[in-house]
Amino acid sequence: MPSNKSVSDAPIVQFSNCRILRDHRLQREDLWVREGKILNPEKLFFDEKGSADVQLDCKGSIIAPGFIDVQINGGFGVDFSLATEDFKSGIDLVSQKILSHGVTSFCPTLVTSPPSVYHQILPQISVRNGGPHGAGILGAHLEGPFISREKKGAHPEHCLRTFEAGAFQDLLATYGSLDCVRIVTLAPEMERSSEVIRELTKRGICVSLGHSVANLSQAEEAVQHGATFITHLFNAMLPFHHRDPGIVGLLTSDKIPAGRRVFYGMISDGIHTNPAALRIAHRAHPKGLVLVTDAIAGMGLAPGRHTLGQQVVEIDGLNTYIAGTKTLSGSVATMDTCVRHFQEATGCSVEMALEAASLHPAQLLGIDHSKGTLNYDSDADFLMLNDSLHVQATYIAGQEVWRQDTSGM
C-alpha cells in the first residue's frame, strides 16, 4: 500500500503567484522544489501523495533560470589573470558579489598571459557547486594566447603564441594542465589549429573562435573539427564583408555539420556592440546568442585605473580602455544590465532575453539537463525578477542566496 509519507523527508517548497519561464514562455504556474531540484508536482501529488511544507508568495514575480556567465575576467577589484597569493579569496569574492546580478554559475576567464601565470593560477581554480558562499564555478575559460596579433585587442603582444610542431603538446606545456578548463578561445587560421581543436573537443573542452583574422572557410573548417562557440562576436575579428563574411558568416553558414549549433557570445553593454549589430546577429541566429559580460576587475568599482592581466586599463563611465589608448578592454557591465540592454535594443521577448543568459550558455556547455532551465529534475538555480528584469532574489539549489534589501525603499 502506498503510504501518505513523502518519498523523502526533505521539506518541499512551493513558490506560488509567479510566472515561470518554461518551454520558452512565461507560464502562470507554481514552482516546486525539494533537495535542490525542481519537482514535477503531478508525481508529487499522485505517486507520493505529498504536499508542500513551505509556501512562498512570489507576489507576481517572474521566475527564470539563474544566469550563466561564460566569459568574465574578474570584478570588484579582482583580476582572474593576476597570480596572487590570495587568488582563492579573490575568486570567492567575485562569486559572492555576482549573486546580486543573477549569476548562479560562471567560467572565470584568463586573458593572454605568460605560461608561469597559467601554471600558478589554474591549479587554484576548481569546479564547484554554487551556494550561499557564491555562484558555482563551471571551469576556466582561457582566452589566448593562441590568437592573432592583428586582432589581439587588449591582449599583450609579447605573450602571444603560435602552434609549433607538436601543437597540442605545446598548448599543454603553456597551460600546464587542462583539468579545470571548460573553454579555450583560439584563432582558427593558425597553422595546426585543426589538430588542437580536435584534441580539445575530444576532452570535452569547448573551442571558441576569436581574436582572429580567419576567413569564412577557415572558420567553417574549425567548426567541422569541433569548434562550437564564437568569442564576443564582431569584436576582435574581421568586419563583415559581403564577399567573405569571415567568422561572422558562421551565423548563417550552410556548412555547419548536421545536428550542430554554433553559439556566439555578445557583450550587450551598449559600448562593445552597436544596437543595430545586436539586432542583426539576433535576427540572423537567435538560438545561438549567448550574453557574456566580459567583465574586468573594474566592474563594480569607481572609474579610474585597474588591471586586466598584464595590462593597465582605464575606466571612463562604461568605457574601458588600455591605458593611454582607445583600445577597448573588457567591460564593466553586470549580467542583469546586459540582459536588460539586449531586450531593449532588440525588442525581443522577455523570454528570449532571459534564455540568452541562461538556456543558451547551458546548451553551449552541454549542461542544459541540469542548468539553464526550470524543467523537472533540473537544479533549482533560479531568479525572481520584476517586470523590468531587475533581480529581486537569487536561489541556488533551492536556497535563497541573495535578496534585494527593500528596507530603505
- Cα(265)–Cα(231) distance, rounded to whole angstroms? 5
CA R_g for the chain? 21
Cell numbers describing residue 338 = 546586459
* CA–CA distance, 241 with 229 (Å, rounded to integer): 20
Furthest-apart CA atoms within the chain: distance in Å: 76
Contact 320, 96 (CB under 8 A): no
328 is in an annotated binding site: yes
Reply yes or no on whether 53 is catalytic. no
Rounded to whole angstroms, the Cα distance separating 374 from 382 reads 8
**Is 160 known to sit in a ligand binding site?**
no
Query: Among all chains, which residue has been given the C-alpha cell 546586459?
Result: 338
Are 377 and 38 in contact by the 8 Å Cβ rule? The answer is yes
According to the annotation, is 81 in a ligand binding site? no
133 labelled ligand-binding = no
The two beta strands, 181-186 and 140-143, are parallel
What is the C-alpha to C-alpha distance for residues 193 and 351, in angstroms, rounded to an integer? 37
Question: Which class for 275: exposed (0-12), middle (13-18), buried (19 or more C-beta within 10 A)?
Answer: middle
Q: How many CB atoms lie within 10 A of CB 310?
A: 17
Determine whether 384 is exposed, middle or buried from the number of CB atoms within 10 Å of its CB (0-12, 13-18, 19+).
buried
330 marked ligand binding residue: yes
Q: Is 272 annotated as a binding residue?
A: yes
CA distances from 317 to 17, 44, 205, 299, 300 (A): 39, 51, 35, 11, 12
Q: Is 165 marked as binding a ligand? A: no
In 263-369, at which residue ranges do the beta strands (DSSP E only) sit?
263-267, 289-292, 304-308, 311-316, 319-322
CA atoms of 160 and 237, how far apart (whole Å): 16
232 is in an annotated binding site: yes
Task: Give the type of residue at 146.
Answer: F
> If we measure between CA atoms, which residue out of 330, 361, 370, 381 comes closest to residue 182?
361
Catalytic residue among 69, 269, 294, 381: 294
End-to-end alpha-carbon separation of the chain, Å? 53
User: Is 235 labelled a binding residue?
Assistant: yes
- Which sign, positive or negative, has the C-alpha torsion 77, 79, 80, 85? negative
Binding-site residue numbers for Zn(2+) are 143, 211, 232
Which residues are the active-site residues?
294
Binding-site residue numbers are 143, 154, 211, 232, 235-236, 243, 272, 328-330
